[in-house]
Amino acid sequence: MIDLTGKTALVTGSTAGIGLAIAQKLAAAGASVVVNGRREESVAAAVERVRSGGATAEVRGVVADVTRAEGADAVLSAEPQLDILVNNLGIFGAADPLTIDDDEWRRYFDTNVLAAVRLIRAYLPGMIASGWGRVLNIASDSAVVIPAEMIHYGMSKTALLAVSRGFAKAAAGSGVTVNSVIAGPTHTGGVEDFVYELVDKDLPWEEAQREFMRKHRPQSLLQRLIEPEEIANMVAYLASPLASATTGGAVRVDGGYVDAILP
């Protein structure tokens, strides 16, 4: 049902975790996929994984740090035109909110918000001119339910919701949609490290996961971590022509974590 044949998609931060799963899903749906990361080795390895995962069109990589203006320029030079932009790159981590200094606040904003803004600013005009496009920003349940141990992260993801809504208005009536995806607690390597920051490091992973969900994410209705492929399924749908009437939204793949009817 989801056919992205003839579309070109860039997924930032797609060498592992949610980003890699999204790249694999879009490629399997027929899109030509551009993998992005900061290291040549990890990008090359991710390109091979996407190719071997059922890709039916070209898969290529672009090595660039999109948290910096020159990195965004390098991506734009390598890929001047896109149909689908997925701003997945992000950082997170637990910290005592009273100890987070100005530089760390700026680092979270630059990485999780401004990097996405730069790429939207670069690619949205071309999408509007062509009359079709998809911009998807990977947000988090933390944008709505600010974690006490990750206020700086929650702030950045809340800002990303505003960015998505605002640029959707900029693209109004053009055939281009802009949405954010609210991902719930998801099972990635980085999250495994984060879980072990908050629970007993000697626990086996399955027990540690259950302990983390019980103590730190008890409102989850799924009562387990979400798999990256489950986030990718929603992204593939929103990137497709099937989602033509969904724009300016914050679409939840959170396992029922956010205790609200709307975000």
Active site residues: 153
Sign of CA dihedral 2, 38, 92, 114: negative
Other CB atoms within 10 A of residue 230 CB: 18
Is the separation of the CB atoms in 232 and 21 below 8 Å? yes
- Look at residues 124, 136, 51 and name the one whose alpha carbon lies nearest to residue 82: 124
Is the separation of the CB atoms in 224 and 188 below 8 Å? no
CA–chain centroid gap for 98, Å, is: 28
The span from the CA of 94 to the CA of 102, in Å, is 16
| 253 three-state secondary structure | strand
The CA-based dihedral angle spanning residues 78, 81, 87, 91, taken in that order and rounded to the nearest 10 degrees? 20
